[in-house]
Amino acid sequence: MCVSVTFLAIVDGAITTVALPSIARQFGLTTAALDGVVVVYPVCLAMAIPASAWLVERLGGKRVLLTALVGFLGSSVLCGAAADLGQLVVCRAVQGLSAGVLFPAAAALLFVTFTSSEQVRISRYMIIPQQIAPAAAPVLGGLLVDELSWRWVFYVNLPLGLPVVLFGLLFLDRHRGHRPGRFDLPGLLLSAAAMGGLMFGVCEGPNRGWSSVPVITALALGAVLLAAAVAFELRVTEPLLKLRLFADRLFRDTNLISLVGLVPIMGAMYLGPLFLQQGQGRTALESGTSTFPEAFGVLLTVQIIGVWYARVGPRIIIGCGMAGVSAVLLLFATCDQDTGLWTFRGYMFLLGVAMGGVFMPTTVASLATLDRRDLAQASTLNTVVRQTGGALAPAVVTTALVLGTPAAAATHPPVSAYQHAYLALAVIAAVTAVFAFTLPDGPARAAAGGTTASSGSTASPRRREGAH
């Protein structure tokens, strides 16, 4: 069920872009005027994440997951039936709020239900929707828009999601964590406003310009609110976001790797189609078929890591994975107008092979030394960090392209600008790799191997409750 939920939420976040031209034509607007349809989703998603852990602990994982999924499906239908832009933006906001609860709730159920060694095996399946969904979304969206209408980009969630709801009602066990304290409303308001402001600024910076008043205002206000939220959450007894978990070195370091390491990884995924279509003049179909091999590389590596994780440990795996990402990005930096598609596809496959050594180990290792009662909170913080890293990636890429593009060619970056952007991403990946080799992964290896770690409590057997 968690695999299906993840697939639905990721596809919906990526598929809408394909439908924007058709939506603009029907509403009599320019495509640029529909920017709110795209931006409101990640902004609202980020705002909802902080409340997810408290909801899971208070109402139970099954109830929260199914309620959020029903809200997601209902808002999808309303998006498809929207009569104007205002209705569509409001319904997309509800979708984002629902998705902001879905991601951490699904993760919390998985981590509460299974031990660290089992999580390694499960991650071999969870990686499938995470890699297939972004690649399949543009293809699926194009087919639906061309053969039916843009409204089916949203309607399609219903036939895909209703069987998941039915399955959850019938087979998902009730799960309750420890009873949380009073709801931290000030913490929610501060953290939600901070995340919303920062996400808006990061998402809109490449479009409006980093010096534009709305972007500067959003980033400045978001930073101030974030500082206030951190100060407040560290002082209250029962915070909405348990930032004290970052005192655990393994949890802190793996999240730092996720935050910084996602920039070169997702940045390369964002930069590839731009280089192929703008730098080489390729078609959208050629671009899509050339970036898709990355998914196969990730799937291959994750299956291998699932067998060797406990023996090798996350430190070596993550470090080598990030070093591999840096090396492949250096290969991408040699691409020019004459680089063939199959050469580019080979590089994308190698990038996926290296990426596969980063995603699963960082997630599993981040929870290895935490108390079982903190898993819902930890999953929420993990989601916040990954969403932030994913949003920073296109911002970094766009900034690198702008800096490498002469003013006379502002609308068409030269090939050298793409090469410099790849080099910048390679440097970030290399620095992250060096840091990854300092991870204290002894407790993580012990937990994954099913033995008792001296500093962790999650290695002990857990009662089987939650998702099957």
Does the pLDDT value for residue 457 go beyond 50?
Answer: no
Which amino acid would we find at residue 394?
P
Does the pLDDT value for residue 459 go beyond 60?
Answer: no
Match 């872009």 to its residue by tokens. Answer: 17
Task: Render pLDDT for 270-299 as a digit per residue (tens, 0 to 9).
Answer: 888 878 877 888 876 677 677 778 888 888
Which of 247-256, 443-452, 459-468 is the most confident on average?
247-256
**CA gap 375, 381 in Å, rounded:** 10
What pLDDT is attached to residue 436? 94
Q: Is 463 exposed, middle or buried (0-12, 13-18, 19+ CB in 10 A)?
A: exposed
The mean-pLDDT minimum among 54-63, 122-131, 159-168, 213-222 falls in: 122-131
What pLDDT is attached to residue 458? 39
What pLDDT is attached to residue 217? 92
Contact 357, 432 (CB under 8 A): no
Does the pLDDT value for residue 464 go beyond 60?
Answer: no
Does the pLDDT value for residue 168 go beyond 90?
Answer: no
Does the pLDDT value for residue 408 go beyond 60?
Answer: no
Task: Render pLDDT for 383-401 as a digit per residue (tens, 0 to 9).
Answer: 888 878 877 887 888 888 8
**CA gap 392, 280 in Å, rounded:** 25
Does the pLDDT value for residue 351 go beyond 90?
Answer: yes
Q: Please, what sign has the CA dihedral across residues 317, 319, 322, 325?
A: negative
Domains of the chain as residue ranges with CATH: 1-183 (1.20.1250.20), 244-459 (1.20.1250.20)
Which amino acid would we find at residue 327?
A
Contact partners, residue 241, CB within 8 Å, separation at least 6: 50, 53, 187, 191, 229, 233, 377, 380, 381, 384
Match 């995470």 to its residue by tokens. Answer: 130
Contact 287, 276 (CB under 8 A): yes
If one compares 77 and 43, the residue with the highest pLDDT of the two is: 77
The mean-pLDDT minimum among 154-163, 271-280, 287-296, 307-316 falls in: 287-296
What's the pLDDT band for 447 if we cut at 50, 70, 90?
Answer: low
Average pLDDT value over all residues in the chain: 80
Q: What is the mean pLDDT of residues 200-220?
A: 81
Task: Render pLDDT for 246-275 as a digit per residue (tens, 0 to 9).
Answer: 988 999 999 999 999 999 998 898 888 878
Contact 198, 223 (CB under 8 A): yes
What pLDDT is attached to residue 118? 67
Does the pLDDT value for residue 308 go beyond 90?
Answer: no
